[in-house]
Each structure stands twice: as structure tokens, then as C-alpha cells.
Amino acid sequence: MTQTLTETLRPASPAELRDILADAARDGAKLALRGGGSKRHIGRAEPAATVLSLGGLSGVVDYDPAELVLTVRAGTPLAEIEALLAERNQMLAFAPFDHAPLFGEPAGAATIGGVIAAGVAGPLRLMAGSARDHLLGFHAVSGRGEAFIGGAKVVKNVTGYDLPKLMAGSWGRLAALTELTVKVLPRPALRLTRLVRGLAPAEAVALMARVMGSAAEVSAAAHVPASAAHGGAPVTALLLSGFPPSVASRARLLDDLTGGACDAAGLENAESDAFWQAVACPVALPADLPLWRLAIASGKAAALIAELGLAPSAYLLDWAGGLVWLASDLPAETVRAAAAAAQGHATLVRAGEAMRETVPALPPREPAVAALEERVRRAFDPAGLFETGRF
């Protein structure tokens, strides 16, 4: 998966970034925004674009653990932020992850700006919300070469348009982010994952729906149909988080809800964290096949699996069945039609260059939505500075 781009620019300050963008807009250049490059293989190649690396805009601006607010520059590595928060027993509640291992590359490249720009969220999204729900404010530079600010460092001071919601998931097509303020949360004292073995997909989806609608307050729910770490048997995992007495009480309720089918011990803390990291970044799925991410109605997951005839080794379910990771060489039209029938959409995460050139990474939009997106992009980037053909 090689990409040949003309050169790389690496501004060391927001002022230098403004100058670069203003010059590029004047000259009609195309710029491909990069954080750490962990997701650079998603979408089409961009041979005519210059890479604009934001990795030089790194470091903590302000961290107030008591107020649960962190302000960092956009190029700060995600791993550094997670280590900083861990020192104070805090965390990013939307559980972002590094995409690099999905492409056979070492973890550690992802930046907070790239995570927010791609709207990356892991298994905890089910209860804690998405990246956009935790972005309070930002500083950025538009395709006009103009610096602007959205949101604020505290929720009560935010007025006007909710621009943070717009920037999260924009994939670098609106503006270059330079600084981000995010909410953080205390890290639960106990993370306990209870496992139910041997369920078929329909049984697993029904169980996850039942427990998610209960008072057990499950933080995450996933189904791994072929778990190498658990003897190759199907494993349905349910995460309980909080203070130990509360977790113990809810674990008893979980036993009642599952008819005593949960493993008695389960996985605690570090073991639990490792399990959910493997769910978030599913490197166990076949690496030689295209990788799809399907966001669907959770109750439709079992029907989708049956319709596509998926082998247990080809997929896993997260978000109680609302997210399907699928490694398959099925035609793109087949995968996307199945996702649409399940009231959702499919994103192509990993594929060879030939497939990436012909199959858009992001799901097609309805004409009215596509027209609205185009108007929004032109408002921030009238010259099409960030329109590199990637998407």
C-alpha cells in the first residue's frame, strides 16, 4: 500500500500553518492533511497532493484534572495523552484507538487530531458517546488561510454554531486542526469483563440487547465468533465498570440475566483492557482481505451475517451488534447493499490500491446530503485546497 506524494510540509506553529495554507490557496495547490499517518491508507491515493504534516504542533497546552478538561495541540500522539491521563487515573471516555496495526504497522503513530478528525471511538462508545461528544473546543485554520475557534473549554460557555460537532469526523476536508480541548473522565477502579461462550450470532445479539436494556449498566458488549484466545469458541463479552461493590452487585444481576451462563471469574482490569483493545482494533481478522466497518441497527446483525454467509473467522461484533468488523473479498456492492438493508452503512477501511481507486472509502450519500456537504466544504475551503480525491 504505497502512496507517492510530491513533498511534505511540517509547520512548527499555527502562524506558519496559516502562511502555508494561504500560499497554497493562492497557488491552487492541493494539501493532504496528516497527523501521524496511521490512517493514510484509508481512501484513494493522493499522488498530486503535498502532505501537510501537523506532527510539529504537539504538546499539552493545559490539563486540569479536577475539572476533567485537557487542552492539547492537534499533533500530540494519542499514546502520550493516554499515558498522561493514566497517571491521574483518568481516560478518554470514547476509547479511541490506533489504526496503524490494521495495516501491519506498529502502534504509536495516531495523534489526537487524527482521532478527532476521523471520529474514532472504541467499544465504550456504546455508553460514553462518540469523539464528537467529548470535543469541547478547537483552534483551526481554514482553507482560506484564516485561523478560527469553535466551542470553548467549558460547556456552559459555548454559544452559536456547534462547530466541534462538525469538525469531528470531517476527515481533514474542512480545516487543519491545531489545538483541541476534550473532556476526560475518571478511570473506573474496576473493569470486569464477563464472558458467555458458545452462542450463535442470533443468540449473542439477543443476549446483548437484553443486558443493555437492563439495570446492569453494561459499559460495552461484543461478540467474537472465533476467539483464538479462548480456544476458538465463540465468546460474547460484557463489560462492567465502576467501584468494586457496584460492579459486584451488577455482576450478580448479569448472572440472573444470562441464566448463570457467564464465566465465574471473568477478566479484570489489565486483562479486560487488553481484550477490549483487541475488539477495538481487530488485527485478528484476516489481514490479506479487504476490511470493512459496518455501522448498522444492532438488531439486524444476525440477519446480515446470515445474508452474507460469513464464516466465524471473517467478522466480529462490537457495540452490542451495532458495529460489524468484516474481512471479506465479497463485492463492494454486496457489502454496502447488506449494510443498507440493515439500516446502516459500510466504510472501506483496508484494501489494495486497485480496489481503493474504484471503491470510495466512505459510504455514498443521498443526493440532498451530498449537496449539503458540498456547500459546507466550500464555506470552509472555497478553493478546494483539501479536495485531494482521497474520498
- Report domain extents, the chain: 1-187, 190-353
Closest CA to 193 of 211, 209, 206: 211
| HEC profile of 314-356 | HEEEEHHHCEEEEECCCCHHHHHHHHHHCCCEEEEEECCHHHH
Give me the phi and psi of 176, to 5 degrees please: -95, 115
183-218 confidence digits (pLDDT tens): 999 999 999 999 999 999 999 999 999 999 999 999
Of 70, 69, 32, 29, the C-alpha closest to 54 is 32
Cα-to-chain-centroid distance, residue 276: 14
pLDDT band at 339 (very low <50, low <70, confident <90, very high): very high
Confidence band (pLDDT; 50, 70, 90) for 154?
low
* Burial of residue 64, with CB atoms counted within 10 A of its CB: 0-12 exposed, 13-18 middle, 19 or more buried: exposed
Position 155 scores a pLDDT of 54
Give the DSSP letter of residue 146.
-
Beta strands in the chain (DSSP E): 8-9, 31-34, 50-53, 60-64, 69-73, 90-91, 135-142, 147-151, 175-183, 185-186, 190-197, 220-224, 235-242, 267-268, 291-295, 315-318, 323-327, 345-350
pLDDT at residue 152, as a whole number: 77
**112 alpha carbon, distance to own chain's centre:** 11
Contact 158, 152 (CB under 8 A): yes
Q: Which architecture, in CATH terms, is 1-187?
A: 2-Layer Sandwich (3.30)
Cell numbers describing residue 147: 485561523
- In the structure grid, which three cell numbers stand for residue 335, read together? 457489502
Cα Rg of the chain, angstroms: 21
The CA distance from 25 to 386, in Å, is 10
- What was the pLDDT predicted at 226? 84
Q: Look at residue 47 in the predicted model and tell me its pLDDT.
A: 84
Query: Could you tell me how far CA 75 lies from the centroid of its own chain?
Result: 17
Share of the chain above pLDDT 90, in %: 88
Residue 309 to residue 299: CA distance in whole angstroms? 17
Phi, psi torsion values for 207, nearest 5 degrees: -65, -45
The CA distance from 379 to 28, in Å, is: 17
Three cell numbers, residue 381: 475551503
Q: What residues contact 161, with CB distance under 8 A and at least 6 apart? A: 150
For 155-159, 222-226, 244-248, 290-294, which range has the lowest pLDDT when averaged over its residues?
Answer: 155-159
